[in-house]
Structure 1
Amino acid sequence: MFFNNKFSCFRFYYLSRNIIAGLIGSAIGSKLLGTWGPVLGGVPILPALIGAIVLILIVSIVMKAIRK
């Protein structure tokens, strides 16, 4: 069985939610903040990182508010 207890299912949900938010945030950050800083594989690292962090924080705050 993939999930051996009920808590591992929740951890998988939170991890996948953050990964998806990070990918979307990095795309948005790259588009909004431009192409400054180092570029790796055609992706500006600093704007992508900033966008990912901001969107993960927003999604986490919204999901905590909904859960209460």
Structure 2
Amino acid sequence: MEISSNSLSYMKPLKASSNPDGHWSDHQWVELTAVDNGDWSGSFWEPDAKDKTPWVEIDLGKVVKI
């Protein structure tokens, strides 16, 4: 999925409950930094296998009504 530059989440900082080392999975790169660099195409995040309560937080920089 490509995220356009007018998306609220485009190039915004991310935090996550876990961030396993980057790796390939089903022809896609899995790593948190692959998501926050603005190019979501062909990449995604998944929690560590031991993470029982996974979460992701995107800092939009301001209060936004969604």
Give me the TM-score of the superposition, normalised by structure 1: 0.23
Give me the TM-score of the superposition, normalised by structure 2: 0.23
- Higher relative contact order (CA closer than 8 Å, sequence separation 6+): 2
Comparing both structures, which one devotes a greater share of its residues to helix?
Answer: 1
Q: Return the index of the structure with the highest Cα Rg.
A: 1
